[in-house]
Structure 1
């Protein structure tokens, strides 16, 4: 699965960069994230519970930040195992472009899934991935925004 896009965030590039590197902000914004802890300067351990169609799965895995070019870009990659539901692994190249008082966040995601999740069909998996990405960016924009963001949805 490949997914590319961009999101306009009502915050400075430095504020967006700090948010993308703050485990507490990311934990609040990643749909289904149950824990996210820094294990080294460039690594995090994560636990996420999601539902894709009829399959609910809890994934535990590691996330690695590489190709760091603060505050412009980085690569985030990870792999999670969901037991009988399968696995997910992939990465994203993230670029931040300052645009006045806002920031344009561009992403290029490549991901792979296996197990029961892969049997659900690419249409369902792709639409769920897009929905989860939209929720993440809405919540992230609200978390780091200048108060002008009108993001929908939130993680309690």
Structure 2
């Protein structure tokens, strides 16, 4: 499944870029994220608990940043295993564009699921994925604006 979108953030691009690379802000914004630990500047490990339809599972996995072009863009990729629930893997290309004093955050994602979750049907998975992405970017926007206000 592929999707994309755009979020206007009332903060300068450098502030948004710093937040995209801050594990604590990401942990707070990723829906269901229980842990997010930075292993290196481009590698993180995460545990996320999600409910998709009737299936609830904890996913443990690795997250990697690549194609890094500060403070303009990067690709974030991850793969998580959820035991009998299955697996999820995906990537998102994130691009930041100056728009006056605001920043436009544009993203395009690709995701794949397998196992019990995949049996739920693509419509449920697609709508859940869109909801989770929308929730992440809305929460990220609030966190960045709050951080910018403190500075």
TM bucket, shorter chain: over 0.9
Aligned to 1:118: 118
**CA contact under 8 A between 1:11 and 1:146: conserved in structure 2?**
no
- TM-score, normalised to structure 2, is 0.95
Q: For 1:7-156, what aligned pairs fall within 5 Å after superposition?
A: 7-145=7-145
Give the unaligned 5+ runs of structure 1.
Answer: 149-156
State the shift of 1:101 in Å: 1.2
Give the alignment's TM-score, normalised by structure 1: 0.92
SS of residue paired to 1:11: coil
CA displacement at 1:146 relative to structure 2: 5.7
C-alpha displacement of 1:137: 1.1
Q: Secondary structure at the match of 1:145?
A: helix
CA-atom RMSD, angstroms? 1.5
Task: Name structure 2 gaps, 5 residues minimum.
Answer: none
Contact 1:13 1:102 in 2 (8 A): yes
Distance in 2 (alpha carbons) for counterparts of 1:147 and 1:64: 24
Contact persistence 1:57–1:82 (CA under 8 A): yes
Alpha carbons of structure 1 residues 147 and 20: separation in structure 2 relative to 1, 3 Å: closer
1:100: Cα distance to partner?
1.0
* Cα deviation 1:61-81 (Å, max 9, x = unaligned): 000000000000000001000
Runs of 4+ in structure 1 off by over 3 angstroms are none
